Amino acid sequence: MALLTPEDLANMTNALVENDRLITELTDYSLDGLCRKIYGTVPRNEKIAIIPVTAGNGIIGSFSESLLFTVQHFGMDGFITENTDVAGYYEAVTNGADIILMADDLAYIAHNLRNGKIAHNQICTGRIYAEILCHAKDYADDKDVLVIGLGKVGTPALETFLNEKQNVYVFDVDSKRVDEILTDYPVFKYDPAKEPKSFFKIFEATPCADTICESALKENSIVSTPGIPLGISDELIEKYKVRVVSEPLGIGTLSMLYDVF
Ligand SMILES: NC(=O)C1=CN([C@@H]2O[C@H](COP(=O)(O)OP(=O)(O)OC[C@H]3O[C@@H](n4cnc5c(N)ncnc54)[C@H](O)[C@@H]3O)[C@@H](O)[C@H]2O)C=CC1
Ligand SMILES: N[C@@H](CCCCNC(=O)[C@H]1CCC=N1)C(=O)O
Ligand SMILES: [Mg+2]
Mean pLDDT of 219-238: 98
Q: For position 2, what pLDDT does the model report? A: 84
Nearest to 108 by CA among 62, 159, 41, 53: 53
Topology given in CATH for the domain delimited by 12-23+30-120+251-260:
Rossmann fold (3.40.50)
Mean pLDDT of 127-156: 98
- Asked whether 89 and 205 are in contact (CB, 8 A), the reply is no
- 0.85 surpassed by complex ipTM: yes
Domain positions in the chain: 12-23+30-120+251-260, 124-247
Same topology, domains 12-23+30-120+251-260 and 124-247? Answer is yes
CATH superfamily of 124-247: NAD(P)-binding Rossmann-like Domain (3.40.50.720)
Per-residue pLDDT tens over the stretch 174-226? 999 999 999 999 999 999 999 999 999 999 999 999 999 999 999 999 999 99
Per-residue pLDDT tens over the stretch 35-54? 999 999 999 999 999 999 99
Q: For position 95, what pLDDT does the model report? A: 98
β-partners of residue 101 are: 50, 110
* Residue 106 Cα to ligand 2 middle (Å): 8
How far, CA to CA in Å, does 41 sit from each of 35, 38, 68, 179, 256?
8, 8, 20, 36, 11
The protein residue whose alpha carbon is closest to atom 17 in ligand 2 is 59
Residue 107 Cβ contacting ligand 1 at under 6 Å:
no
The protein residue whose alpha carbon is closest to atom 11 in ligand 2 is 108
Write down the pTM of the prediction. 0.99
| DSSP state letter for 196 | -
